[in-house]
Chains A and B, each alone.
Chain A
Amino acid sequence: MKNKKTPAQARDSFRETFNALIPPIEEANDEEVANLLSTYGIDPEAITAKAHQHLQEVARRYSSQGKTIPPGLKNALRQLKPPTVTEKVELEASRAKAAIRSILEEVKEKTTAAADRILPTAAPQPAFRNKKDLTDADRKQLADLQAELDEKGDTTSRKPTDSE
């Protein structure tokens, strides 16, 4: 007969199994945590607001009893304080700016990549049309260019022979 676990053993066993099946929450990144909350239909802002309200009540109790509010509680209240309307607007504006900047950067990256593919690599070309006094180096460069063009002309104007 199978031995039934004691309640404590059953609890521990259940917890161990559960934790073996799911990833540890401390290793999740912020986005994964947000997604998890969202799939369970929980708004993170609502958690913060509820926690702040609750901690405010605790702080009020301390004050009414003439006790000093613990520094941890003060810190938590400061961190969880819901943003004011102005802060919310600023936050939304900065989020919108960041989103627009990200879109523009993406467009810029894509157009640069497309231009690189389409346009040939630009290289400086010498021009002698308006130059009066040619130096030896200029003449040599022109001669080389002429030779190159002649060579190209020969290749393109050469007619195929019968054997070809």
Chain B
Amino acid sequence: MPPNSSDAIDYGSLLDRLTAHACQFLNASRTAAKSKVVQGTALSPKDFAIDLVEKLALGEIPHDNSQGIGGLIRYLTVAIEHDILDALDRAEHKRVDFLDPIVVAQDDQEGQEKALADLGATPDDPADWLDGELFKSRAYSLVEHDPELKEMAIAIFEVNALKPREIAAVCMTTTTEIQNRKKRFALLLQKMEYKPKKRGAA
């Protein structure tokens, strides 16, 4: 059962939910799915979740139960998304991204100068990824064999329908059906692994 709005905080359930959300967000945020951490910071989904739970337990995150547990989880998922994006923006992560051993080894053949020249202008720049085009193309490739999911992706990416009711209206279906499609997409998302693009590629 989803947590009841009148329930007191169940820290175990909260940790599980935040970790699960962090896994999905981190995976979609282009980081290496195999290592399961933000490279260069060693922060894993568990760490992000535990950090927020600590702040909540210490009273650093205000919670008056006015929005219930559901409202608290919603608030914390937004916080965890920002924490993950901040970590991705951190210099350590960018540096590791730049010094990807495979890419550096490949670039060694052409000389280190080329790799240095590519710094900040790579197709895998976090800003480019977050700008949506790379994520969009990966998402489309995930749903290409599922017409219903493809329809949902078009509604989201092309029509900018973001709320379930808006997506349902574009797809001419019910919000329940949209929720089911989202669950299917979440399963597909696990298959989306970050593959660093070869530097210098068009």
Residues in A lying within 8 Å of B, measured CB to CB? 4-5, 7, 10-11, 13-30, 32-34, 36-37, 39-42, 44, 46-48, 50-51, 54-55, 58, 70, 72-73, 75-76, 79-80
Tell me which residues across on chain A come within 8 A of B13, comparing CB atoms.
30, 33
A29–B2 touching, CB < 8 Å: yes
Nearest Cβ in chain B — how far from A41, in angstroms? 7
Interchain nearest-CB distance for A138 vs B (Å)? 62
- A33's partner among B17, B28, B74 (CB-CB below 8 A) is B17
With A28-B17, A50-B50, A73-B57 known, 15 other A-B pairs at CB within 8 A are A5-B131, A10-B127, A13-B131, A15-B85, A18-B25, A21-B139, A26-B74, A27-B179, A33-B13, A33-B17, A37-B20, A40-B45, A42-B23, A46-B46, A72-B59
Contacts of A79 in B (CB 8 A): 10-12
Of all chain B residues, which has the CB nearest A22? Answer: B186
Contact segment of B91-99, B106-114, B156-164: B156-164
Q: Give chain B's interface residues, CB within 8 Å of chain A.
A: 1-3, 9-13, 15-21, 23-25, 27-29, 36, 45-46, 49-50, 53-54, 56-59, 69-70, 73-74, 77-78, 81-82, 85, 89, 127, 129-132, 135-136, 139, 152-153, 156-157, 161-163, 167, 179, 182-183, 185-187, 189-190
The answer to whether A36 and B20 have CB atoms under 8 Å apart is: yes
Q: Is the CB of B130 within 8 A of A13?
A: yes
B36 touches A26 (CB 8 A): no
10 contacts between A and B (CB under 8 A): A7-B89, A10-B132, A14-B130, A17-B135, A26-B70, A30-B16, A33-B20, A39-B187, A75-B9, A75-B57
Q: How far is the CB of B42 from chain A (nearest CB, A)?
A: 14
In the complex the two chains form, is A58's CB within 8 Å of B46's CB? no
Chain A residues within an 8 Å CB radius of B78: 15
B11 CB contacts on chain A under 8 angstroms = 51, 75-76, 79-80
Residues A28 and B59 in contact, CB atoms below 8 Å apart: no
> Contacts of B57 on A, CB cut-off 8 Å?
55, 70, 72-73, 75-76
When distances are taken between beta carbons in the complex, the residues of chain B under 8 Å from A47 are 15-16, 19, 46, 49-50
Residue of A nearest to B21 (CB): A25
Query: Closest approach, in angstroms, between the C-beta of B170 and any C-beta of chain A?
Result: 11
In the A-B complex, the 4 residue pairs with the smallest Cβ-Cβ separation, listed nearest first, are A26-B73, A76-B57, A10-B130, A40-B23
Q: Number of contacts between A and B (CB, 8 Å)? A: 163
Residues of A within 8 A of B157 (CB): 17
Taking a contact as CB atoms under 8 Å apart, the answer to whether A23 and B182 are in contact is yes
Residue of B nearest to A59 (CB): B57
In the complex, are the beta carbons of A36 and B162 less than 8 A apart?
A: no
Alpha-carbon separation in the docked complex, A15 to B23 (Å): 14
Minimum Cβ distance to chain B for residue A164 (Å): 63
- Of B28, B36, B54, B56, which one neighbours A41 at CB under 8 angstroms? B36
How distant is B93 from chain A, measured CB to nearest CB, in Å? 15
Whether the Cβ atoms of A26 and B20 lie closer than 8 Å is no
Closest to A13 in B: B132
Say yes or no: B1 contacts A36, CB within 8 Å. no
- Decide yes or no: A29 and B15 within 8 Å by CB, A50-B46, A72-B59 being known contacts: no
A51 / chain B contacts, CB cutoff of 8 Å: 11, 15, 46, 49-50, 53
